[in-house]
Amino acid sequence: MALMTRRGAGSAGGGPRSRSQRVHARALASRVCASGARTAMASARVRAAGALARSAFSRYGHFSANGRRSLSASAALLARTHVNYEVKDNVAVIRINDPTSKVNTLTRQLQDDMMEVLNEVWGNSAVKSAVIISTKPGCFIAGANIDMIKVCKSAEEVSKLSKEGQMMFEKIEKSPIPFVAAVNGTCMGGGLEFAIACHYRVATKSKKTVMALPEVMLGLLPGAGGTQRMPKMLGLPTAFDVMLTGRSIRADKAKKMGLVHHVIDPLGPGVKDPEERLIEYLEEVAVGVAKGLAKKTVTVEKKKGLMQKVQDAVLGIPLVRNQVYKTVTQKVMKQTKGLYPAPLSIIEAVQAGVEKGPAEGYHVEAVNFGKLAMTPESRALIGLYQGQVACKKNNFGKPEREVKSLAVLGAGLMGAGIAQVTVDKGVATILKDTTTEGLARGHDQVYKGLNDKAKKKSITTFERDMTLSFLKGQLDYSGFEKVDMVIEAVFEDLSIKHKVLKEVEAVIPPHCIFASNTSALPIREIAAASKRPEKVIGMHYFSPVDKMQLLEIITTDKTSKDTTASAVAVGLKQGKVIIVVGDGPGFYTTRCLAPTLVEGIRILQEGVGPKKLDSLTTGFGFPVGVSTLIDEVGVDVAAHVAEDLGKAFGSRFGGGNVDVLKTMIQKGFKGRKSGKGCYVYSAKKKDKQVNSGTEEILKAFKLTAPPAVSGDEDVQYRLVSRFVNEAALCLQEGILADPVQGDIGAVFGLGFPPCLGGPFRFLDSFGADKLVQKMKRYEDAYGNQFTPCQLLLDYAKDPSKKFHK
C-alpha cells in the first residue's frame, strides 16, 4: 500500500519513459545524409521544412460541409455536438470535444457550436466567469482544420476564414466576464490563439501539454489574432521567436515566459483513469481561478521583473522597434534566402499591428494569411506534413511478434546511433563490436547522446541512467539466441556483410530478423548468403541517427511481409519517418544523391569554387551546399558510392570525374572527419576556408564549361534535374511505391529543398515540360546523363498529369 510518495510508481500522464517516446518536432531537413549535426538549426527555413510532427493543422480534422445550421433553439441543442457547457457556482464551464476525431480542431461545426454557447453564456446574468476546457484526452485544440483551408480556391476565401476566427476571439477578449482557458494536451495554432484570447490560462504539466504556433512550418501565419496578441503578451523579441520558429513550448516554460499564469502537475493513478481525473482536477482548479477572477481575489496581471520593465521601456522607442524589425528581417532573409514568404508575412503583420494599431494589424494578418495559403511554398510544406504523417504508419499490418530485444552489430557512428534510438524507447539492446576500444567509443556515444538530453533537461539524469541500463555492450554472440532482430552496421563490404550474416545465423533463433544498415549494397546480394532470405531486410539509417528522422527500409522480392511489418514497427518505435522501397543499387535515396554529387564534382571541375557551389545550392533551398555535403558524407564514402553506382548504372551516373575524389583521398582530404576536404576544418574557427590542396586537384582535372549551360541558374538546374530525373526513374522502375514516399525520402533524408516539397511536388509546381526542356539543353551539351526518363516525358507531354492530387 505504498501509494504515496513516488512519481514513478504512480506515474501520471506518462512516466519517465513516455517522455522520451515523445517525438520532437525536429528540424530534419537541415541535416543531410551523413552530415554532422553541427550547424545551429534555429532557422525558420529549416523549421519550416520538416518536422511537423504535431501541427497547428490536423489531418484528422473532419470538415463539416453542412455550412451554417438553423439557429432555432431545439435544433441547435440537438445539433450541438462539439461544445457544451454547464454552470457551476456562477462559473460557466464550457467543454470542447469533437466526437468525430481523435483531436479537437477548429472546424466550422466547432466554431458554430462555440459561438452559440458563448451567446448563451453571455445572455445568462447568473454567470460571472467562464472556463474553457477540452474533455478530449491529450488535446486542448490542435489548431485550425487544414482541410478547411485546402478547399478554399482564393486568397479572399482564406482571408474570410481568418477574419471569422479573429472576430470570435476578439469577442472573448472583450467579454464582460473573465474567461479562463484550462489547457491539457496539444494547444497549437488556432488552439493557442484561442487560449491567449482568454484572460487567464491554467495548464497541466502533462508531457502532452505543448503550446506552439507552428503555422510558419506550413508556410502560413497565425491567422486568428496570433500575430497581434503575441507581441503584447511576450514582448516583440520572444513573440517573433515563437512565431518564426514555430517551436514547441512545454507548460513550465510557458509559465516562465508568461504565456500561462498557472501550472498544475499531472496525477498518478487514483480510482479512475489518470488522464480523466487530471482533466477533472484541471477543471476544479480552473473553476477556482474563475471564481477568484469574478470576485477579484485573483488578478490577471503578473508582476513584471526588472528585465521585463527595461525591455518594455526600450521597445517603447519607435527607433528601437524599427531596428528590431530590421534585424529580424535580415536574419530571416539570411536563413531562408528569401525562399519562404511566411516569416516575412508574419513580421509584416506584427509590425502593422504594433505601429499602426489593431485595426490595421488584424487586417494585414487576415490578408497575408489568405495570400500565404495560395503560395506553392505553403502547398509544398503542407504536403510534406501530410506525407510525414502518412509515413508514420505501418501499412504492413501488425507483426506476428513484437521486437522486444534487439542486437546491433558494430559500435561505430551508425551502430551506436541505432542502439541509442532503440534503448531510448525501452527496448533491450545488445551492442556488439569486435574490439573493446570500439565498444567503449560506441557506449560513450550513446551516453553522450542521452546526457545531452539530460543537460537540456528534456530528460532527467535518472531517466538517462534508466535508459542506458537497456544497453549491453559485448564482444561475443552470447545472448543472441534470444534476440528478435539483429541490425548490422559493419563496414560496407559485401564479404564482411556475408561473414557476419553467417555468424549471426548460426546463433539466432529462427524467428529473428536480420536487417542490414547499408547505404548502397543491394540487399538481395547480402541475402544471397542467408539460409532464410525471407528474414533479411535493409534498414538504411541516416547519420546522425538520433537527429535524422528518415529510415529507408529496403525489401527484396524474397523478404516476407511479416519481416517488413516488423522492421517498420521497430522504425516507428525509434521515432522514424519511414519509406519502404524496392531493392537495387543505391535503393532510392543514395541513388538520387549519387548523380547529384557527381554533377557537383563536374561543376567544381568547371571552375566554380566550392564556396560558390555551396551558395548556389543553398540559394536553391538545399539546407547544405554540395561541397559541404561531400565533406560531411566523407570523400571516401562519396567516391565509393559514385564508383559502385557508376558500375551499376553506367554513363547516366557519369559527369564529374571520380578520380578527383580518389586523388583527394590519396592526399588525406577525406572530408570533415579528417579535418580537410573541400574545406579546411579547425575546432576553433567558425568560418571555414577552402582547402587550397583541393583547389589544386580541381585545377589538374579542369574541364571547360560550355558557356550556354553554365550560368548560375543552369548550374542549379543541372544539379536538381539529375536528382529529380533519378527520383522519377525510381518511381518508373517501381523502386518507389508512390510519389509521397519519394518526396519524404528526398526532403527528410537528403535535404531536398523543403519549400519545393520534394522532387515530385517540384515537378507538379515547376512543370515537367519545363524541366524536360532544360534537360534537353543540358543533354546536348553534356550527353546522356541528362536524358529525361520516360516518366518525365510522359508528364511533360500532358500538363494535366500531376504526381499529387
Partner 1 sequence: FNRPAVLSKSKKTLSKPGVRNVVLVEGVRTPFLQAGTTYADLMAHDLARGALQGLLNRTAFPKEAVDYIVYGTVIQEVKTSNVAREAALGAGFSDKTPAHTVTMACISSNQAMTTAVGLVASGQCDAVVAGGVEFMSDVPIRHSRKMRKMMLSLNRARTLGARLSLLGSLRLSHLVPELPAVSEFSTAEMMGHSADRLAAAFGISRLDQDEFALRSHVLAKKAQDEGLLTDIVDFKVPGKDIVSKDNGIRPSTMEQMSKLKPAFIKPHGTVTAANSSYLTDGASAVLIMSEEKALAMGYKPKAYLSPTYAIPKVLERSGLTLADIDAFEFHEAFAGQVLANLTAMESDWFAQNCMGRKAKVGAPPMEKFNLWGGSLSLGHPFAATGCRLVTMVAHRLKKEGGQYGLVAACAAGGQGHAMLVEACPQ
First vs last Cα of the chain: how many Å apart? 59
CB of 270 to partner 1, least distance (A): 4
- Which residues, 6+ apart, have CB-to-CB distance to 162 below 8 Å? 223, 224, 365, 366, 369, 370
H or E element at residue 630 = helix 626-633
**Angle, alpha carbons 113-114-118 (nearest 5°):** 120
Candidate list 7, 302, 326, 455; residue touching partner 1; CB under 8 A: 7
307 binds partner 1 (CB under 8 A): no
Q: Of 204 and 351, which CB lies nearer to partner 1 in the complex structure?
A: 204
Candidate list 10, 358, 706, 767; residue touching partner 1; CB under 8 A: 10
CB of 281 to partner 1, least distance (A): 5
Give the contact letters, 362-401, x = binds to partner 1 (CB under 8 A), - = no.
Answer: ----------------------------------------
From the list 607, 609, 625, 612, the residue with the least C-alpha distance to 701 is: 607
- Cα 310 from Cα 373, distance rounded (Å): 38
CB of 431 to partner 1, least distance (A): 25
Name the one range near partner 1 by CB under 8 A: 258-266, 352-360, 506-514, 624-632: 258-266
Name the one range near partner 1 by CB under 8 A: 210-218, 265-273, 329-337, 431-439: 265-273
309 binds partner 1 (CB under 8 A): no
Candidate list 85, 194, 281, 795; residue touching partner 1; CB under 8 A: 281
How many residues bind partner 1 (CB under 8 A)? The answer is: 29
Task: Say which of 116, 215, 505, 552 is annotated catalytic.
Answer: 552
271 binds partner 1 (CB under 8 A): yes
State whether the Cα torsion 398-400-406-412 is positive or negative: negative
CB of 724 to partner 1, least distance (A): 51
264 binds partner 1 (CB under 8 A): yes
- Cα 748 from Cα 392, distance rounded (Å): 13
Give the contact letters, 151-170, x = binds to partner 1 (CB under 8 A), - = no.
Answer: --------------------
CB of 251 to partner 1, least distance (A): 14
Candidate list 299, 460, 469, 773; residue touching partner 1; CB under 8 A: 460
Return the residue matching grid coordinates 532510392.
Answer: 588
- Which residues, 6+ apart, have CB-to-CB distance to 232 below 8 Å? none
Q: Tell me the sheet residues that pair with 188.
A: 212
Task: Identify whether 552 is a catalytic site residue.
Answer: yes
4 binds partner 1 (CB under 8 A): yes
1 binds partner 1 (CB under 8 A): yes
Q: Where are the alpha helices (DSSP H) in 508-581?
A: 523-527, 561-573
125 binds partner 1 (CB under 8 A): no
Q: Tell me the sheet residues that pair with 290.
A: none
Name the one range near partner 1 by CB under 8 A: 9-17, 57-65, 215-223, 479-487: 9-17
**Angle, alpha carbons 689-695-698 (nearest 5°):** 145
Distances (CA, A) of 136 to 216, 331, 388: 26, 39, 24
The grid coordinates listed for 246 are 514555430
The grid coordinates listed for 146 are 487544414
787: phi then psi, degrees, rounded to nearest 5? -70, 120
Candidate list 233, 256, 322, 462; residue touching partner 1; CB under 8 A: 462
From the list 367, 331, 332, 361, the residue with the least C-alpha distance to 349 is: 361
- Which residues, 6+ apart, have CB-to-CB distance to 404 below 8 Å? 427, 428, 484
Q: Of 284 and 503, which CB lies nearer to partner 1 in the complex structure?
A: 284
Candidate list 68, 153, 174, 272; residue touching partner 1; CB under 8 A: 272
- Cα 130 from Cα 181, distance rounded (Å): 9
**Which DSSP state fits 458?**
S
Q: Of 212 and 267, which CB lies nearer to partner 1 in the complex structure?
A: 267
**Angle, alpha carbons 29-30-35 (nearest 5°):** 110
Candidate list 191, 274, 399, 742; residue touching partner 1; CB under 8 A: 274
Contact predicate 129/177, CB 8 Å: yes
Candidate list 44, 180, 212, 267; residue touching partner 1; CB under 8 A: 267
Give the contact letters, 287-306, x = binds to partner 1 (CB under 8 A), - = no.
Answer: -x------------------
Q: Of 279 and 483, which CB lies nearer to partner 1 in the complex structure?
A: 279
**Catalytic residue numbers?**
552
The residues binding partner 1 (CB under 8 A) are 1-10, 12, 262, 264-272, 274, 277, 280-281, 285, 288, 460, 462
